[in-house]
């Protein structure tokens, strides 16, 4: 599918409150066939999510340690997580230490997911993910671990006010880019 057709379909699914504010852009460079090009999502004429550049307004993580030390990321630990650590420890471990170990394990998993998500951002990947978004149910896109699918689903008109408001807790575990677009959509309700 051509970029102009894909862009038209994506912008057709935008929430009415965001139409005219959110725009998908992908300037092509026909003289550079080996380059993937750039692709970005702009809000109010500002490039917010540049698919191939780490120097934009949204925080990009360089290392797993940055993610683990970020005070804005709160990782909830369930009873099942603590039990998994208890069984892996194979011995008596104080309860407070089990919680620390479980949180560390979950934050490592979360960091790897975030790094994988932001490493795969480029124009060609955006086009593949956008086509996938157009052919999959909206619930699947919202629950996906793919950052771009989450963003496209949050901007979608099929996601209503109740669903947006009920997703606040889930959004705490998402990449700052997804959190930004969640706040944008929530503010536009």
pTM: 0.71
For residue 56, the model assigns a pLDDT of: 58
Residues 109 and 140 in one domain: no
For residue 37, the model assigns a pLDDT of: 60
CB 67 within 8 A of CB 99: no
Residues 125 and 151 in one domain: yes
Residues 174 and 139 in one domain: yes
Whether 58 maps to a domain, the answer reads no
DSSP 164-182: HHHTHHHHTTS-HHHHHHH
pLDDT tens-place string over residues 25-72:
876 655 445 455 667 888 998 888 777 655 556 667 777 788 778 887
Residues 111 and 134 in one domain: no
Higher-scoring residue by pLDDT: 177, 123 = 177
Domain endpoint, select from 117, 138, 157? 117
Residues 125 and 179 in one domain: yes
For residue 48, the model assigns a pLDDT of: 83
For residue 186, the model assigns a pLDDT of: 92
Q: What range does the domain containing 166 cover?
A: 3-52+121-187
Q: Which of 82-86, 88-92, 116-120, 131-135 has the lowest mean pLDDT?
A: 116-120
Residues 160 and 141 in one domain: yes
CB 117 within 8 A of CB 147: yes
Residues 136 and 87 in one domain: no
Q: Count structural domains, the chain.
A: 2
Residues 72 and 165 in one domain: no
Which region holds residue 20: left if phi is over 0, alpha if psi is between -120 and 50, else beta?
left
What pLDDT band is residue 162 in, cutting at 50, 70 and 90? Answer: very high
């Amino acid at each position: 599918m051509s970029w102009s057709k894909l862009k038209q379909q994506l912008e057709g699914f935008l929430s009415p409150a965001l139409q005219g504010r959110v725009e998908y852009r992908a300037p092509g460079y026909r003289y550079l066939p080996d380059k993937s090009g750039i692709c970005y999502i702009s809000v109010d004429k500002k490039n917010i999510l540049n698919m191939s550049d780490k120097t934009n307004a949204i925080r990009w993580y360089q290392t797993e340690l940055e993610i683990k030390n970020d005070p804005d990321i709160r990782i909830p630990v369930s009873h099942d997580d603590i039990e998994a650590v208890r069984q892996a420890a194979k011995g008596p471990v104080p309860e407070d230490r089990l919680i620390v170990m479980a949180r560390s394990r979950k934050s490592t998993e979360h960091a790897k997911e975030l790094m994988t998500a932001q490493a795969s951002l480029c124009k060609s990947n955006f086009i593949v993910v956008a086509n996938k978004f157009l052919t999959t149910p909206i619930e699947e896109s919202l629950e996906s671990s793919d950052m771009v699918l989450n963003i496209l689903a949050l901007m979608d008109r099929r996601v209503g006010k109740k669903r947006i408001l009920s997703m606040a807790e889930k959004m705490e575990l998402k990449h700052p880019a997804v959190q930004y677009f969640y706040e944008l959509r929530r503010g536009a309700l």
